[in-house]
Amino acid sequence: MSTKSIGVAVIGAGMAGKAHAAAYRSASAVFDSTLPEIRLVSIADVYEPLAEATAKRYGFERHDTTWQALAEAEDIDVVSVVVANRLHREIVEGLLAAGKHVLCEKPLSDTLEDAEAMVAAANNADTIARVGLTYLRQPGIAYAKQLIESGRLGQIYHVSGRYHTEYAADPQAPMVWRYKGPAGSGALADVASHLSYIIEALGGEVESVSGGTLTTVIKSRPKPIGNVVGHERGAVSEEREPVENDDYAAFSVQFANGTAGTFEASRVALGHPNGLSFEVYGEKGSLKYDFERPSEISVFLADDDLANAGFRTVILGPSHPYWKDGLAMDAPGVGIGQNDGFVYQARAFLEEVAGIPESESLPRVPSLAYGLRNMQLLDAVAQSAAQNGAAVKIGK
């Protein structure tokens, strides 16, 4: 790798791929430490018109149509892998073998076997491999974690959360890779994979899950006519294919510290484009967060004056994680969204690649082992559902 610059590329030019591309473009403009020059080299996608358009849109030098082209390119040091989950293993292993630093989107894969192999490849590589878990970098969620760890809420009694989305609620939405794969690879993997790592960030390590429920309410979908990007609708044919995985998932957890919680995820919840929310209840206080209102968090403290007791709305600002210097206009209440989390993630990843010391305000991106842990929790939910809700220990 050049000591004077870092060449970056993204494989996958869909919705999340664009988020990675935009994040690399903005990474040098946030926080204080100085990155070397970031060269925006290539966007790769098997659908060449999309690769070309995305590269042009985000200022990348060129486009490619295979991950092998990125692996062979001497001017590329860092690659984000943002393609269908089942393709992750081959690409990540190939890029690591070629000496590239890799940032892989969650979940690591669609099978534990592949995820374990990816972790092994990362452990044997001379370069860095990390997994993208962007919600940990939302100021409200990071602040909730700080508040819990400080002891301000006291012993945590229970946690609940949900991630409601509507991208699959239309029965005429075209068949794409998200609707293929075994039980647990649908809403559980696509949506609850975010919820599950937030669960452990707030409540601690999960020991077991129970009450696993996986439901498919839309049984078939029409075949698309042409290429489909992200959650786009597009033209469809009259021929339909069966949906293989889950539209809705629910489960309960038992944390190792004795805390309990209940959670659900849906991709068919009309009215919620991106409805992630959770509540944490403790002996000294409680908190609530709703990503549909990402610039605020609700906090209740039991030692408040009884005449004024109740949840207070805290407007996030420079005194909270990621806000100061993480936004161009970093005053309180100016607004933040999911795209910002990708920028903070890209910045943290590039700092590690560049050898810049980790700062308290910008933690490192999690390892692939963390991503494997995330998948083990989801696998336990799928096992519980297959056993009519029986309790299943994580990693068993």
Ramachandran angles phi, psi of 47, nearest 5°: -90, 100
Terminal Cα-to-Cα distance of the chain (whole angstroms):
40
State the SS3 of 15-72: HHHHHHHHHHHHHHHCCCCCCCEEEEEEEECCCHHHHHHHHHHHCCCEEECCHHHHHH
Residue 48 neighbours by CB under 8 Å, 6+ apart: 63, 65
Q: Tell me what the pLDDT averaged over the chain comes to.
A: 94
Q: Is 115 helix (H, G, I), strand (E, B) or coil?
A: helix
Amino acid 1: pLDDT: 40
Q: Return the domain boundaries, the chain.
A: 5-135, 139-336+373-386
Q: Where are the beta strands (DSSP E) in the chain?
A: 5-11, 37-44, 62-64, 78-81, 101-105, 129-132, 156-164, 206-215, 220-224, 236-242, 248-255, 260-266, 275-282, 285-290, 296-301, 312-315, 392-393
Residue 138 has pLDDT above 50, yes or no: yes
What pLDDT is attached to residue 228? 67
Q: What is the mean pLDDT of residues 115-125?
A: 98
Query: Residue 311's Cα: distance from chain center in Å?
Result: 28
**Residue predicted with more confidence, 240 or 183:** 240
Q: Is the pLDDT of residue 390 over 70?
A: yes
Burial (CB count within 10 angstroms: exposed 0-12, middle 13-18, buried 19+), residue 38: buried
Q: In this predicted structure, what is the pLDDT of residue 115?
A: 96
Say if CB 185 and CB 110 are below 8 A apart. yes
User: Quick check: 3 pLDDT over 90?
Assistant: no
Q: Distance between CA 355 and CA 376 in Å, rounded?
A: 31
Task: Please tell me the predicted confidence (pLDDT) of residue 231.
Answer: 66
Q: What pLDDT does 283 receive? A: 95
Three-state secondary structure call for residue 371 = helix
Q: Say yes or no to pLDDT of 133 above 70.
A: yes
Contacts of 78 (CB under 8 A, 6+ apart): 6, 7, 8, 9, 100, 101, 102, 103, 349, 350, 353
Percentage with pLDDT > 70 across the chain: 97
Domain 5-135 superfamily per CATH? NAD(P)-binding Rossmann-like Domain (3.40.50.720)
**How far is it, in rounded angstroms, from Cα 295 to Cα 336?**
6
Assess whether pLDDT exceeds 90 at residue 262: yes
pLDDT tens digits for range 212-230: 999 999 999 999 887 766 6
Query: What is the mean pLDDT of the segment spanning 230-258?
Result: 89
| pTM tops 0.75, yes or no | yes
Q: Is the predicted pLDDT of residue 2 greater than 50, yes or no?
A: no
For residue 195, give the nearest of 233, 244, 141, 155 by alpha carbon.
Answer: 141
**308-327 residue pLDDT tens:** 789 999 999 999 999 999 99
Q: At what angle do helices 368-386 and 112-123 cross, to 10 degrees?
A: 170
* b/e per residue 234-255 (b: at least 16 CB within 10 A): eebeeeeeebebbbbbbbbbbb
| DSSP state at residue 363 | P
- Look up residue 194 and give its amino acid: H
- From 193, 341, 197, 182, select the one nearest 267 (Cα to Cα): 193
Across the range 345-362, mean pLDDT stands at 95
pLDDT in tens, 156-169: 999 999 999 999 99
b/e code 139-153 from CB counts within 10 Å (16+ = b): bbbbbbbebbeeeeb
pLDDT digits (tens, 9 = 90+) for 23-33: 999 999 999 87
Q: What is the mean pLDDT of residues 126-152?
A: 96
The domain made up of 139-336+373-386 is a member of CATH 3.30.360.10:
yes
Q: Has residue 234 got a pLDDT over 80?
A: no
